[in-house]
Amino acid sequence: MAEVVFFIAGLGAIAGAIGTIALRNPFYSVLALVGHLLALAALFLLLRAEFVAAAQVVVYAGAVMVLYVFVAAYVGDIEEPIWEPIPGQRLLAPLLALALFVELSIAILGTALTSLDSEGPLIDETFGSPASIGELFLEKFLIAFEVSSLLLLVAAVGAIVLAGRRRPTSKAARTEAREAERLV
């Protein structure tokens, strides 16, 4: 049973990944990535990471992808030119990726870690459950937890500064902005 689910979800993940890089329209790329993320969530469940799978579906496929869809719709279609700054880049890149994949596979399959050739040790039912993940976050990894919350806050402020419309407040700043616009 696990094999069937693995191969279906794995093929779905690969198809979604290829769709993401091959589709011309960024909007369809985003939709392909949503399919990829859902297939990956199924794989996470097979690895007994139920909380991470739920977070993947809710946070990634839900929230982050909605952001992508909005920006792809706002920016619209982007024409990708045929012109290449590095000649032959579109041919060399897949070769490089293939070499990377072969190297990584050799490293994985040739490793002396014997635990990789098994399903992993027997684990109890609480493995990966929200309760045990929360306990780890609040006890063993409290600093990482707090730092990631700070990082999210900084990213939110940064995004507002980057994308927000600036309204000049004082009169001097307004004339300055008009001057700058005239120069552009």
For residue 12, the minimal CB distance to other proteins (Å) is: 11
Non-local CB neighbours of 176 within 8 Å, separated by 6+ positions: 168
Least distance from other proteins to the Cβ atom of residue 14, Å: 7
CB 72 within 8 A of CB 27: yes
Residues 6+ apart with CB under 8 A from 39: 9, 10, 12, 13, 16
Backbone phi and psi for residue 110, each to the nearest 5 degrees, phi listed first = -95, 5
By beta-carbon proximity to other proteins, the closer residue of 152 and 177 is: 152
Q: To the nearest whole angstrom, how small is the minimum distance from the Cβ of residue 38 to other proteins? A: 11
- C-beta separation of 28 from 72 below 8 A: no
Is residue 62 a contact partner of residue 34, using CB atoms and an 8 Å limit?
no
In the range 87-116, which residues lie near other proteins by CB under 8 A? 89-90, 93-94, 96-98, 100-101, 104-105, 108-109, 113, 115-116
- Which residues, numbered 127-146, are part of the site for other proteins (CB under 8 A)? 127-128, 132-133, 136-137, 140-141, 144
Q: Which of residues 4-33 bind other proteins (CB under 8 A)?
A: 6, 10, 13-14, 17-18, 20-21, 26, 29-30, 33
Q: How many residues bind other proteins (CB under 8 A)?
A: 85
Q: Scan residues 153-172 and list those touching other proteins (CB under 8 A).
A: 154-156, 158-160, 162-163, 165
Residue 61 as a binder of other proteins (CB under 8 A): the answer is no
Copy the structure tokens of residue 11.
């093929």
Position among 112, 117, 143, 183 found at the interface with other proteins (CB under 8 A): 117
| DSSP-H helix ranges across 78-141 | 89-109, 130-139
Among 8, 66, 67, 173, binds other proteins (CB under 8 A): 67
Q: What phi, psi does 152 have (nearest 5°)?
A: -65, -40
